[in-house]
Structure 1
Amino acid sequence: MRTTPRALAAVLAGALLVTGCSSDDGDPTPPSYEKSGSVRAQVLPQLAANGEEVESAADAAWVVDATIADAEEGTSVTLVAKDDDGWSEVDEQETDAKGRVSLTSRDSGDLHVVVGDGDDAIGAKVSTDDAPEATFTDDFDDEDSVDGPDAFWHTRDQGYTGVRTCSKASADAVEVTDGVLRLSVAEDPDREGDECQLPGKRKKFPYRVNGHVGTEGRLAFTYGFAAARIKTQAARGQHAAFWMQAVGGQGTGGPKKGGAEIDVIEYFGDDHPEGGLTSFTYFLDKNGKKQTVGGWLPNADELGDDWAEQYHVFSVEWTPKEYVFRIDDKVTQRLKGVTSGRPEFLILSLLSSDYELPRFNGKLPQTMEVDWARVWETGPK
């Protein structure tokens, strides 16, 4: 039997009744509810902004994480916010099996998380003023955002080696225009007509250039949130990625000492048999052996299928005890355990690795678009 809001409220002694009334300017207050410790909520940064059009990072929606104690899966939770027309319900979602729910609001200020209605309603008040403040934002409004004299981003010097013997990073595959960073995989103009043959493969491939930029030496942080609003490529044979690496290179001894690679998101193209989305982290143990945590996102088709058609915000919440990966407001993976204890820098890339090339099913160039990137450094809170 599903736990009712009244039953949740009954377990709380001395609960505060929040009544509906009118303020001095005539705007009604939120619906009446009983303030309850069974409703725990916090406002996270502006991490949700899916859609087709470019928009400012400052216009993204706030995410409210809430947990309803003892609530069964499927309990309905409402978020109430105030805009120019007064108070209104801005989102409604259902709890998961652990009583968790994520809600969003484009309106700032006080927000009310409410379970039930009428005399049965319980809830809690939160404020966007309590969310972490952004410490870095790039809306890519400046055409010199990459490789410019004051730019945070620079083209990485990698290619024609390792797992990418047929491709290299190149400024030729990077463009900033109309408020968007465009990273492409295209044929290498300096090797026109040349073909790359992979070991053990008959088929040959044109040499490629990759869009691959990072903030190494310009920007790094330790613990907090990192997010990027991205529209991916469509075809397989390359993968869009937003990721982080430890400053100074990854070392042995586990993630706290040696740092980690944090892959916030990788997308391997439409119609991928595993759904195409991965989030994971890897580190080197005391013996220098690579340890990987995370991987393919389960039930990726339930998260969406419009990655190449609409922008989505891909983010990680990084604390000393866990990584929480999100797509917009949806939690996609929680990886608990010791995390990187080193400063990490940001990377955005569209890479065509050798193992992907045989699965290429589109036409070059393929392009990934980044509307904005943002960091909220919190320290080890």
Structure 2
Amino acid sequence: MRTTPRALAAALAGALLVTGCSSSDDGDPTPPSYDTSDSVHAEVLPQLAANGEDVESAADAAWVVDATIDDVDEGTAVTLVAKDDDGWSEVDEQETDDKGRVTLTSRDSGDLHVMVGDGDDAIGTEVSTDDAPEATFTDDFDDESTLDDKDGSWHTRDQGYTGVRTCSRASADAAEVADGVLRLSVTEDPERKGDECQLPGRRKKFAYRLNGHVGTEGRVAFTYGFAAARIKTQAGRGQHSAFWMQTVGGQGPGGPEKGGAEIDVIEYFGDDHPEGGLTSFTYFLDKQGKKQTVGGWLPNADELGDDWASKYHVFSVEWTPEEYVFRIDGKVTQRLKGVSSGKPEFLILSLLSSDYELPRFDGDLPQTMEVDWARVWETGPKS
């Protein structure tokens, strides 16, 4: 039996009454009324939520509020109240997990109220979007010169026909900025038209491919904070969409704090993947220079959505010295605790066709990944 709001409120010592009317769906002219409680903890994170079919500005994304309610059972309803032109109203309601945590979102800026219970039983706390970190880099992809221009933020990464991609190579011809979107594609390589690539131990042959693969190396990097990208993935298997980061100057041995790390915010391996298709992880080199990997397939991927190729979603990482927190539209999908990268990292967006996934190719070329925007909120030393 879950803890009731009345029992929770009665147990609070020194609660402060906030005057005003209760909120309603139609909007109220005065703030909501509740007892301010030390048992309600809340923090406003950056604008990390914006799923939908249409292109929109990064500045219009929803704020994310992380809240924890002490001493409540799993499933306790928590409400977020915000003010718009029509007054105060409830903008989101979610249920706590087994640790009392909940994620709420608001498109409205300014003061926000996190509440548990109704009427005289209500408790809560007030937060403000003014306290969230400020963005230090934003690209809405409204300007074509952002890509492969000497003054732009992104350039094509020179990787091809080598390593784990002997059948594909990065090419500027597989990346374009148009209509407010960065489009990255996997398509046939016109310079190898008619040629076929055969993988070791495989009878089937494949057409040589071009990959959309861009990064901000030498142009944009940061240390600690948030990084996010609003992405609509490809549908087919045989290639994977990715938003990731690598260490400026390359990784070195000695662990992540000393040598940096690769941070894979999200990878999507296509619809109908047996593991759900979504993965987030990080890897680094230990003192002996041996690769160590932490993270992996996202559990319960089907609960996160099944519309990756038809709608945009915001994929993000919160990077601190003690952990990485991965989110999709603000919802925490994975926490990797432990020492993290202590080096500046640059951003990468890619749609890559790797040798190990080619045998599972199940669609037509080209396959396309669309990026509406990318953003960074740096909280550590300026890079």
Alignment of 1:297-376 (within 5 A): 297-376=298-377
Task: Tell me, yes or no, if the aligned pair for 1:253 and 1:287 is still in contact at 8 Å.
Answer: yes
Q: Report the counterpart of residue 126 of structure 1 in structure 2.
A: 127
**Structure 1 residue 233 and structure 2 residue 234: aligned?**
yes
The residue identity in structure 2 corresponding to 1:28 is: P
Deviations 1:310-336 (A, max 9, x none): 000000000000100000021000000
Q: Report the counterpart of residue 20 of structure 1 in structure 2.
A: 20
Looking at structure 2, the residues matched to 7 and 250 of structure 1 have their Cα atoms a distance apart, in angstroms, of 53
Task: Tell me, yes or no, if the aligned pair for 1:20 and 1:28 is still in contact at 8 Å.
Answer: no
Task: Tell me, yes or no, if the aligned pair for 2:246 and 2:347 is still in contact at 8 Å.
Answer: yes
Q: CA deviation at 1:12?
A: 2.6
**Structure 1 residue 257 and structure 2 residue 286: aligned?**
no
Looking at structure 2, the residues matched to 227 and 31 of structure 1 have their Cα atoms a distance apart, in angstroms, of 32
The residue identity in structure 2 corresponding to 1:95 is: T
Looking at structure 1, the residues matched to 144 and 291 of structure 2 have their Cα atoms a distance apart, in angstroms, of 38
Distance 1:53 1:128, change over 3 A: same
Structure 1 unaligned segments of length 5 or more: list them. Answer: none
Looking at structure 2, the residues matched to 8 and 335 of structure 1 have their Cα atoms a distance apart, in angstroms, of 32
Deviations 1:256-313 (A, max 9, x none): 0000000000000000000000000000000111111000000100100000000000
Task: Tell me, yes or no, if the aligned pair for 2:82 and 2:88 is still in contact at 8 Å.
Answer: yes
Task: Tell me, yes or no, if the aligned pair for 1:8 and 1:69 is still in contact at 8 Å.
Answer: no
Task: Tell me, yes or no, if the aligned pair for 1:243 and 1:348 is still in contact at 8 Å.
Answer: yes
Q: CA deviation at 1:144?
A: 1.3
**Structure 1 residue 10 and structure 2 residue 6: aligned?**
no
Looking at structure 2, the residues matched to 320 and 9 of structure 1 have their Cα atoms a distance apart, in angstroms, of 36
Task: Tell me, yes or no, if the aligned pair for 1:80 and 1:87 is still in contact at 8 Å.
Answer: yes
Q: CA deviation at 1:28?
A: 2.2
Task: Tell me, yes or no, if the aligned pair for 2:298 and 2:333 is still in contact at 8 Å.
Answer: yes
Task: Tell me, yes or no, if the aligned pair for 1:175 and 1:181 is still in contact at 8 Å.
Answer: yes
Task: Tell me, yes or no, if the aligned pair for 1:185 and 1:208 is still in contact at 8 Å.
Answer: yes
Looking at structure 1, the residues matched to 150 and 317 of structure 2 have their Cα atoms a distance apart, in angstroms, of 29
Looking at structure 2, the residues matched to 84 and 143 of structure 1 have their Cα atoms a distance apart, in angstroms, of 36
Q: CA deviation at 1:10?
A: 2.8
Structure 2 unaligned segments of length 5 or more: list them. Answer: none
Looking at structure 2, the residues matched to 171 and 281 of structure 1 have their Cα atoms a distance apart, in angstroms, of 27
Looking at structure 2, the residues matched to 100 and 353 of structure 1 have their Cα atoms a distance apart, in angstroms, of 38
Alignment of 1:5-154 (within 5 A): 5-21=5-21, 28-154=29-155
Deviations 1:26-72 (A, max 9, x none): 96223210000000000000000000000000000000000000111
The share of aligned pairs that are identical, in percent, is 88
Looking at structure 1, the residues matched to 165 and 227 of structure 2 have their Cα atoms a distance apart, in angstroms, of 27
Looking at structure 2, the residues matched to 345 and 87 of structure 1 have their Cα atoms a distance apart, in angstroms, of 40
Q: Report the counterpart of residue 268 of structure 2 in structure 1.
A: 267
Q: What RMSD in Å do the two structures reach over aligned CA positions?
A: 1.2
Task: Tell me, yes or no, if the aligned pair for 2:50 and 2:329 is still in contact at 8 Å.
Answer: yes
Aligned length: 377
Looking at structure 1, the residues matched to 233 and 374 of structure 2 have their Cα atoms a distance apart, in angstroms, of 14
Looking at structure 1, the residues matched to 21 and 171 of structure 2 have their Cα atoms a distance apart, in angstroms, of 61
Q: Report the counterpart of residue 287 of structure 2 in structure 1.
A: 286
SS at match of 1:70: coil
Looking at structure 2, the residues matched to 364 and 275 of structure 1 have their Cα atoms a distance apart, in angstroms, of 22
Deviations 1:144-170 (A, max 9, x none): 111013101000000100000000000
Task: Tell me, yes or no, if the aligned pair for 2:29 and 2:86 is still in contact at 8 Å.
Answer: no
SS at match of 1:250: coil
Looking at structure 1, the residues matched to 334 and 21 of structure 2 have their Cα atoms a distance apart, in angstroms, of 41
Looking at structure 2, the residues matched to 11 and 188 of structure 1 have their Cα atoms a distance apart, in angstroms, of 68
Task: Tell me, yes or no, if the aligned pair for 2:286 and 2:292 is still in contact at 8 Å.
Answer: yes
Q: Report the counterpart of residue 189 of structure 1 in structure 2.
A: 190
Looking at structure 1, the residues matched to 141 and 243 of structure 2 have their Cα atoms a distance apart, in angstroms, of 16
TM-score by length of 2: 0.97
Q: CA deviation at 1:11?
A: 3.1
Q: CA deviation at 1:19?
A: 1.6
Looking at structure 1, the residues matched to 8 and 261 of structure 2 have their Cα atoms a distance apart, in angstroms, of 42
Q: CA deviation at 1:6?
A: 2.5
Q: CA deviation at 1:103?
A: 0.3
The residue identity in structure 2 corresponding to 1:156 is: R
Looking at structure 1, the residues matched to 7 and 273 of structure 2 have their Cα atoms a distance apart, in angstroms, of 45
Alignment of 1:175-254 (within 5 A): 175-254=176-255
Looking at structure 1, the residues matched to 133 and 69 of structure 2 have their Cα atoms a distance apart, in angstroms, of 23
Task: Tell me, yes or no, if the aligned pair for 1:81 and 1:87 is still in contact at 8 Å.
Answer: yes
